[in-house]
Structure formats: C-alpha cells, structure tokens
Amino acid sequence: MQPIRIGAEVLLKQGRNWENFPKDIPTPGCDFFPETGYTLCEPFRSFWRNHGLDLGMDGIAWAESLALFGYPISKPMVETNAEGATVLTQWFERARFEYHPDNPPQYRVLLGLLGKELYGSHRTGVASVSGIVYVERIARAFVESGLFWDMVHRPDSGVNISKASLSIRGPIYPSDHPLAGVGDNWFNILVDIRPDSTFASPADFVPETPGGVMEIRPGMLEGTCDSGGNAAFFPYSSKQFSITGGQSLENVIFQTDIVCGDFLP
C-alpha cells in the first residue's frame, strides 16, 4: 500500500510531474534528501523541522517531520497559488510550503490548501474546510480507503450543522519503508466540512470567520471499504478543530477503531 501523497497528486492534477523537475545538489546550511534529489533550505527548513507528528520521540524528531510533510519534491520556486498570491513555493510529498514575507513572523510560512485544490473549492457562504487529520488505529483495520459520514457539532452554536466527509487512505508507509511500523498504526483522513441545511442555513457558516470551532463527536461513523463491504468507524472521543480563515485544517490526533464488514462481529 502506497502512502497518500497529496502534494504529488495536486501537481499531477495541474499536469506536472515532480519527477521531471530539475534536481538539486547538496548545499551548505541546507538538508539534502537523496531519496528525491532536493534540498530543504530557509525560509522553509525551520518550519519543516519544528512541526511533525507526535510519535513519542523527544522534541520534534526528524522522523516526525518526515511523517507529517514527507520529502521535498521540488526546488523553491515562485508560483501563483489558487488564491492568486504570487509567493515563493516549495512542494513536499504531503504539503506545499508558501512564504509570505509581509505577514507577521509566525505566519510567514503557510501551508497551501491542497485538499481544497484537489477536491474542489468551497461555494460562497458554505463552510468547506480541507485538511489532514491523523488517526491512530487501535484495533485491526482492513480499510484501504473509503468515504465516511457523521454529524459534526458546532459547540458555539449548540447544534449539529455539518457533515464530515472522511476519505481514509492508509497506511502511510509501504512495507519496505524505514517507518513501516508507523504505517501499521496511522491513517490519513482528508476532512471536508459542508453544511447540513436541516440544522442551519449557510449564513450560519462563514469559512473565513477566525476561531470558528467544529467538533467530531463520539459515536459510530459508517462507510464503505474499497472492497465494497461496509466499514465501521468507532471514534473513542470527540475532537475539536478550528476554521482559521485561509489556512488548512490544523493537524489533530483522533483515536478510533476502523474495521471492514468481513471482520465485524
């Protein structure tokens, strides 16, 4: 099973294959990745090193950053993003880094909204948040990919006003990868939040509203495995995340059991 590489997928959707990009050479003060042939330098190097999945290591380990973003798959280059901003850009297996020098220092490196670019933009007045939620598998899971639906709660309004479409693909690493053990326990979930008119009007949602909070609540989510069988998705607790306006969904940890129909009691 190959890992989801949303950065490479968005490039292919644009008609570009990263393997055809010019390669880098090792550069002093930068990290060189022979696996893909690219270097990681400032202004993106510190951001990559300071963020990662929590795999139980001290601080932010190299493996944790690699698990979150993947290897670089391009040189830094000036590109115009989907929002029309022309910025210094570097592509990674699971991310696109953008440098916005006019922003406050903590917001100068931002992540491109790859989920929205791959699966479609939100409509005016409709909440559509794309991002990655990393799900820790607790029980045996035989789901390769599928669509899963459940109500999402808006705590500040007190009502259920949205559905979460969760596209599950995993494990992240193939069996011959050095982090194959991580692949036995982690899944990527691409989350797309859309309003449910049964509970609220689109006016109650403004995707650009900073601080809007969504919550995936406890309960069973059901869906279909690639094999066609039913899958059960059993989250152990609720998980909140924020709509921050122009940013991708924050990375959160969410414990669950995922089992395909053939393995249900």
- Quick one: DSSP state of residue 182? H
pLDDT at 62: 80
The whole-chain average pLDDT of the chain stands at 60
Distance (Å, whole) CA 132 – CA 98 = 17
Sequence-distant (≥ 6) Cβ neighbours of residue 18 within 8 angstroms:
7, 8, 11, 36, 73, 74, 91
Band (26; pLDDT cuts 50, 70, 90): very high
**Of 265, 263, 214, 217, which is closest to residue 241 (Cα–Cα)?**
214
The separation between CA 104 and the C-alpha centre of its own chain, rounded to angstroms, equals 24
Lowest mean pLDDT among 30-39, 122-131, 144-153, 244-253: 122-131
Band (225; pLDDT cuts 50, 70, 90): low
Q: What would the two tokens of residue 76 be?
A: 């830094």
Structural domain spans, the chain: 6-112, 122-263
Please write the tens of the pLDDT for every residue from 65-97. Answer: 888 888 999 999 999 987 788 999 999 998 899
The single-letter code of the amino acid at 108 is: R
**Of 114, 80, 84, 78, which is closest to residue 96 (Cα–Cα)?**
114
